[in-house]
Structure 1
Amino acid sequence: KATLEFLEEIELKTLGSEERRFKAGELWKKNGAVIMAVRRPG
């Protein structure tokens, strides 16, 4: 199981022409968030 501390440190990036990088913890800093993590084989 992944801890909250581990999840909030994951670096995410946006899709599209304007790329932005941020820590996953920013998603739920002010509001709640539903997170789904999928591990791809390989």
Structure 2
Amino acid sequence: MAFLLLLAYSLFPIAYSLLRIPYFLFGISDSRFPIPDSRFPISSP
């Protein structure tokens, strides 16, 4: 169970960044995503 939680926690920033790619391409602000980027190690472009 702990392994699944760790796996989900490690994959979530990747899926989150992939979901934001279309918004950057089309110039749409991602204000609908309330999760701050400082929580994840992936730096936003």
Query: Where on the TM-score scale, by shorter chain, does this alignment land: which range?
Result: under 0.3
TM-score (norm 1): 0.27
| Greater length-normalized contact order (CA 8 Å, ≥ 6 residues apart) | 2
TM-score (norm 2): 0.27
Which structure shows the higher helix fraction?
2
